[in-house]
Amino acid sequence: MEAKAYDLEKQQVLLTNNDHVNNLFNKHFSIVNNECYTLPEPTTMFKDCPWTIDELQEIKNELNATKNCLNNYDIDQWQLHTRERNSAQKVIMQLRTHIQPELLTQAWCKFYEIVSSFPLIPVDYIRANDTYFRSIHLCEAPGAFITSLNHWLKTNVPDIKWDWLAMTLNPYYEGNSASIMIDDDRFIRHTLDHWFFGEDNTGNLLNLKNLNKLVELSESHCNIFLITADGSVDCTDVPAEQENVLLHLHFCETVAALQLLSTGGSFLLKIFTIFECNTVCLIYLLSCCFTNVSITKPATSKEGNSEMYVVCTNFKGPTFISPYLEKLREHYEYGPKQAIFNKCDIPCTFMERIILCSEFFKFRQCLVIANNIISFNSDNSEMLQNIKQIQCMVADRYIKMYNIKKLEIGQIIGNAIISSNYISTNQHKKSLQGSYNERCEKQHLAPIGRIESFCNDFNKIEIHVSSDEIINYNFTEFPEKLQIRSGKVFHKIGSSKFCNRIALKIKNGVDDILIKMNFKIQFPSLESIEKVKNEMLCEPRHEVLIFQYTDIYDSHKIITEIYNTLQKLDIGATLVLFGYSLLTHLSIELLYLISYAFKSLKVTVCDDIGLKITLYHYNYNLKVLQFLSEINAASLEAQKQEKAILEIISSSAFYEGCNLCFSAEHLNHWILKTYFNYILHTLKKDTN
């Protein structure tokens, strides 16, 4: 690889800065340009075993060999290095300074590039028919494709009337894993009426019932001329198989788009590589359904990764795809296990285009990786100066090429001001430490060694509360009404807006190891609870309600326990909660709600039991009891439908009125700290 990297370096030196910038903005490859490919009969689909193309597998092996050179690099150091060398690094800075777009992210930049470079919007047709233009955005969080499209429409075709709908994994559904979801809701919270989270409120596009509900919802909205699909999952631990990991998602995004799109519309799909059988088949399917299909890697896409976009324009229409939808939908929920098409049904000319396309993007990606390796191991100041100059040239070219202008006042979609108190665990996005090989080695440690390794990682996260700290809460905004949402039952908390993302991932990793060890932990321990209860015997009129942080999550049980306790509580009594989780919207919203039936709420940080939550002087608030009765009834009804209560208060009322939600992250961090300490203590005691 070193010799190869040296050769690549020599090629790179031959490029002028201007050539480098030109190449960056010309990573496009046309797959179909008015050629007429034919779909085989639906009855022949999904019959063949997955097949391979030797040339594509060779290209895949070459790319993986280059990527394998990164296995010993510390991921934090490597990501810092590649960020500094990113040719498009200054684009966002320039846009933020001069244009100030709404929800400016890298995704905003990528979409603006694509919509400015390809005829994604059939403007002439929309104008000629004086019709409304509608778009649907799949796997869209946090919403930057939408704000980017709005910016392009307002500054290029302001006469066109536009409406939109988006579907994404629900950032308020704690059953979703953080590794597959973006939980940034800055934009979502202010545009909730435009977001659809499916029949089960998860936002999971891979559920056929959710697709059916989306289709039903969209039937009254004709003229859907654009569908975007920007889905991905974290494949850092399986870098060589990113394409296979994402195949099911890409299949569902494609089937959804083909079922929703109007004749003449466009589809934009994010993919990564085209090496495997069914990715080739998906591209062939799209090439038969659209007049023009191109693959592009925007200049603002990270140069060293495999990300690229399939741009499909001029859809042949529902009538064309209708005979195939039933067959495609049969494989929707579980993904295609067989080849979508027989190998012999795909023309050789198409295969040749795919091979050329894969080589085109592989070569450029390998060049970037090799160059980054060379510069990582070099202190050449001239090389650094060179990249700084390129970054300025790229930013200038980007703004001039796409003629980006500022929006006028009132042209943004969401709220102009986003609260600085906004809760987002995205600030803790980095969760991997060390090199890829070091992380693989940790997987082979003995169970206790892996738990200790997890705990060491946890201890690197800064904590903002200390033992015996007391926090008093006073809530002033009592919610005027409930907004009860139900959805799919979950028993494991995969994500939380009230917990550091890394910390929760570590907690779930530790729990998985304990399950494999068949080692049952109760926390708080029975001994700790008994000790605290005995201390409280001298406290008159105290009612104790005990939960377990280690119990499987059960929304109905939490609601029932709280409801039953308040029903029989004496006026003037104090309620003390132990082991009460603050990881979900429901648990914090319930605490927020019942606090209005008490004089005050105090949270005490404890060494042995995590938190002690004390609600002083019960005052019998009829409105609170009525709300609890309504919530309990809704929970009983949800149980009958095999669903669970997810939220009980609107997001706006909750975040504006409940200051507990802004400190819950630190309190949960403390709970996890005491939990891990207890686990290590118990394991060591049992092994001695």
Instruction: Please give the positions annotated as active site.
Output: 270
3-class secondary structure, 106: helix
Render the burial of 253-287: b for 16+ CB within 10 Å, e for the rest: bbbbbbbbbbebbbbbbbbbbbbbbbbbbbbbbbb
Which residue type does 110 have? K
Q: For residue 303, which of 90, 141, 89, 56 has the smallest C-alpha distance?
A: 89
Provide the edge-to-edge strand list for the sheet that holds 542-546. Answer: 470-473, 598-606, 610-618, 574-578, 542-546
CA distance 173 to 184: 13
Nearest-10 Cα torsion for 242, 245, 249, 250: 50
**Which residue in the block uniquely carries the two structure tokens 């105290």?**
542
Q: Specify binding-site residues for S-adenosyl-L-methionine.
A: 143, 162, 230
CA distance 317 to 10: 49
Phi and psi dihedrals of 96, rounded to 5? Answer: -65, -40
**Total number of residues shown for the chain:** 688
**Which residue in the block uniquely carries the two structure tokens 């001239």?**
382
What would the two tokens of residue 307 be? 């990300």
668 with 498: CB under 8 angstroms? yes
134 with 163: CB under 8 angstroms? yes
CA distance 63 to 361: 10
Burial class (CB in 10 A: 0-12, 13-18, 19+), 297: buried
Output the 3-class SS for 220-261.
CCCCEEEEEECCCCCCCCCHHHHHHHHHHHHHHHHHHHHHHC
597 with 618: CB under 8 angstroms? yes
CA distance 427 to 500: 9
**Which residue in the block uniquely carries the two structure tokens 């494709």?**
145
Nearest-10 Cα torsion for 166, 172, 178, 179: -20
What would the two tokens of residue 11 be? 């090629």
What would the two tokens of residue 25 be? 């903005």
Angle at 167 between CA 162 and CA 169, to 5 degrees: 150
